[in-house]
């Protein structure tokens, strides 16, 4: 509540300066609070002394050896392998889900057909089931079609990450809804087919939402860990980065791997954070569009 009072005070001309200064101090304190864990993990990744036990906030010595070990010590937890696995899965997932999301959203936004409303209602109802309730069942299905062993696990994970993306159409549909329909109509009068309208008019006009979809679907395999864990089970050579990092914090590894975990976390976070900050404006635009629709 305190914040709101300062907000009100600020509007009063008398205490304007003091209030304003106070707001900035307050924001700085909050920002420090929010950035502390991030600073902490970066410091830990550079820490020279091993182990998860620390007595000071700042490390006693700095080193890059945690990063070097992360990428060279492949005996127990093979991080480079996990990195490649995740990269392959992410690339394919990204292609398939972008195609799915864009086509479904375009159809729901622009076409009118009998199953349109039922489809949207169905997605809403399915969305109410806990996401991984069906995980065990999916595992059995993948096993029944022979995708649960060896390198087929990658295919299985790609399918799991991309198959249901047709349900996440809301944001892209909201964006398509904001493109004026008259453009489509004009093109159709000029003799364009729906397909041509989709590929030559709608897609080129939708750069923000395409960037958004591509990046979010690319990021999904890097940050998911439940599905990957259920499907990989004990196949350690198929692990993705998320499971790898998670295992580094388990009792048997935490002592020798804690600083490497921090290094791994930084390595994974930098590209994701960069992508996220880059697409932040698309995120806001997409949200605003979706809410409007």
Least Å distance between CB 138 and another protein?
A: 5
Structure token digits, residue 61: 């010595």
127 or 150: CB nearest another protein: 127
Which residue, among 244, 246, 262, has the nearest Cα to 51 in the 3D structure?
Answer: 262
Counting contacts by CB under 8 A, is residue 134 touching another protein? yes
Give per-residue burial for 40-51: e unless 16+ CB within 10 Å, then b: ebebbbbbeeee
Element (H, E) at 131: none
List the one residue from 76, 91, 183, 291 that touches another protein (CB under 8 A).
291
38 binds another protein (CB under 8 A): yes
Interface with another protein, residue 164, by CB under 8 A: yes
CA distance 239 to 133: 22
Of residues 87, 95, 141, 211, which one binds another protein by CB under 8 A? 141
Contact assessment for residue 89 and residue 240, using Cβ atoms and an 8 Å cutoff = yes
Among 59, 119, 178, 236, binds another protein (CB under 8 A): 119
Query: How far apart are alpha carbons 240 and 180 in whole angstroms?
Result: 42
Q: Does 20 bind another protein (CB under 8 A)?
A: yes
CB of 249 to another protein, least distance (A): 6
Residue 142, judged by CB atoms within 10 A of its CB (0-12, 13-18, 19+), counts as: buried
Of residues 138, 172, 209, 210, which one binds another protein by CB under 8 A? 138
Binders in 224-253 for another protein, by CB under 8 A = 225-226, 230, 242, 245-246, 249
Nearest distance in Å: CB 269, another protein: 5
């Amino acid at each position: 509540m305190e914040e709101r009072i300062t907000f009100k005070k600020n509007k009063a001309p008398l205490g304007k300066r003091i209030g304003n200064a106070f707001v900035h101090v307050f924001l700085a304190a909050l920002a420090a609070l929010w950035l502390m864990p991030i600073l902490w993990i970066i410091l830990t990744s550079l820490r020279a002394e091993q182990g998860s036990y620390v007595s000071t906030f700042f490390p006693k010595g700095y080193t890059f050896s945690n990063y070097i070990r992360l990428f060279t010590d492949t005996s127990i937890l093979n991080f480079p392998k996990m990195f490649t696995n995740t990269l392959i899965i992410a690339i394919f997932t990204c292609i398939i889900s972008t195609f799915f999301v864009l086509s479904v959203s375009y159809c729901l936004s622009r076409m009118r057909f009998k199953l349109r409303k039922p489809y949207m209602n169905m997605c809403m109802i399915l969305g109410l089931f806990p996401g991984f309730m069906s995980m065990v069942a999916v595992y059995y299905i993948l096993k029944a079609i022979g995708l649960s062993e060896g390198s087929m696990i990658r295919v299985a994970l790609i399918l799991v990450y991309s198959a249901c993306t047709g349900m996440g159409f809301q944001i892209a549909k909201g964006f398509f809804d904001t493109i004026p329909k008259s453009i489509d109509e004009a093109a159709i009068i000029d003799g364009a087919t729906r397909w041509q309208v989709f590929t030559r008019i709608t897609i080129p006009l939708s750069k923000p939402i395409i960037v958004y979809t591509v990046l979010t679907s690319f990021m999904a395999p890097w940050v998911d860990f439940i599905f990957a864990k259920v499907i990989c089970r004990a196949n350690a050579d198929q692990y993705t980065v998320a499971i790898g990092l998670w295992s580094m914090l388990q009792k048997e590894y935490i002592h020798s791997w804690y600083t490497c975990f921090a290094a791994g976390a930084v390595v994974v976070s930098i590209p994701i954070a960069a992508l996220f900050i880059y697409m932040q404006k698309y995120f806001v635009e997409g949200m605003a569009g979706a809410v409007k629709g």
